Amino acid sequence: MNKSIILLPLTILCLVALSCAKTPGESTGKDAQERLSKWMDKYHPGVQPTEDGLYILTDEPGDGALRNEELPYVIIRGTIRTLEGTVSSTTEEAMARQIGKYGVSNYYGPQYQYLSEGYSYAGMDILLRDMRVGGHRVAVIPSWMLTSSRYSTQAEYINACTSSTHLIYDVTLVGQSADAEADGVVRVMTYVSVNYPGTESVSYIEDAEPDNSFYFISDISAFDEENKLSDDASVKINYTGKMLNGTVFDTTIRKTAVDARIDVDGKTYEPQSVTFSSSYSDITMGDSSSLISGFKGALSLMHWKGQKATVVFSSAHGYGASGSSNSNGFVIPPYEPLIFELEILQDEEAE
């Protein structure tokens, strides 16, 4: 199963933090303890650490289900700050605007996170451990707990880490899940049943059975077999990519970009050249074959100039556990299902 690892650059707007890699000359764990103790005495006198070393500054209980550690995925939103108050990452649009990290095409809101050794920080797991869905907690996670390793005692954590960077996590637990990808498939099925009732799942992969994760909608009643495109045809296409909530994240059409308020100065909005192949995996757009499989799979099911199609698929056919990001954060969050509206242009339209 593919999982989203938490060890990402702090420029990415997700709930991540600094790792505790050892570097010669850095302060020791004991020095970090002393620094944090002095900071707490000055700014939060009387607040004592939990047995796991975290300092809980705010704790607003939720009214949902208690955190179930048997469910490896959580859905969270929040902001991370240094002790000096510098925001290092956030999922909140207002905060992103405030710190100058807002991107017009970026996603803001709840995100899936896989919690496990090697994939998430020990301090994050502990922070969420006894929360309820809907709960909000602000806590100082000490540097030695910002590690994806797991130890039995605080002493072991401190001895294993020499970073002196402590962070303040401001987190809301939105939900929890046994399987983020399976959740996405359910969302896709629900979306299709409401918007395209009666549509059945298909597969673009040879010998693979449909599994409700990929739906292709296209009216081909006006086309005939004689005018089918060849396997190696080169055409021009327009496309628009959206999330299930209707948010447009990419398009070749300027008006669509302007209407969605994602138009970027200097970006060219125009039809793209596509070269087909007998295998969906070898389809290229421009000079690139580095396209998500769902996009190439949809094109492989299109056979006529003038044909329009809508494809809806889960993240297994898209950006999976990693999502898609830029310097401001996620454009597409992890495990997000996608919709693409596609059109193969007629010759005169492609000029």
User: SS3 letters for 202-236?
Assistant: CCCCCCCCCCCCEEEECCCCCCCHHHCCCCCCEEE
Render pLDDT for 136-194 as a digit per residue (tens, 0 to 9): 999 999 999 999 999 999 999 999 986 889 999 999 999 999 999 999 999 999 999 99
* Tally of CB atoms within 10 A around 333: 25
**What CATH topology corresponds to 180-350?**
Chitinase A; domain 3 (3.10.50)
Alpha carbon 342 to chain centroid distance?
23
Check residues 182 and 351 and name the one with the higher pLDDT: 182
- Separation between Cα atoms, residue 134 and residue 66, nearest integer Å: 10
- The proportion of the chain whose per-residue pLDDT surpasses 90, expressed as a percent, equals 82
DSSP count for the chain of H helices, then E strands: 8, 15
Q: Which of 171-175, 247-251, 307-311, 343-347 has the lowest mean pLDDT?
A: 343-347
Specify the pTM.
Answer: 0.88
**The pLDDT of residue 349:** 53
Residue type, 172: T
Instruction: Give the whole-angstrom CA distance, residue 196 versus residue 257.
Output: 25
CA distances from 130 to 124, 126, 136, 205, 263 (A): 12, 8, 12, 43, 43
pLDDT number for residue 329: 87
pLDDT digits (tens, 9 = 90+) for 108-122: 999 999 999 999 999
User: What kind and span of H or E run contains 349?
Assistant: helix 347-350
183 within 8 A of 335, measured Cβ to Cβ: yes
Q: pLDDT value at position 18?
A: 44
For tokens 């991107």, name the residue. 103
pLDDT in tens, 20-41: 444 444 457 888 999 999 999 9
**What's the pLDDT score for residue 4?**
39
pLDDT in tens, 43-98: 999 999 999 999 999 999 999 999 999 999 999 999 999 999 999 999 999 999 99
29-177: in CATH 3.10.50.40: yes
29-177 and 180-350 in the same fold = yes
The CB density around residue 218, as the number of other CB atoms within 10 Å, is 17
Kindly list the domain boundaries of the chain, sorted by start residue. 29-177, 180-350
Question: Which residues on neighbouring strands pair with residue 308, listed in sequence order?
Answer: 343
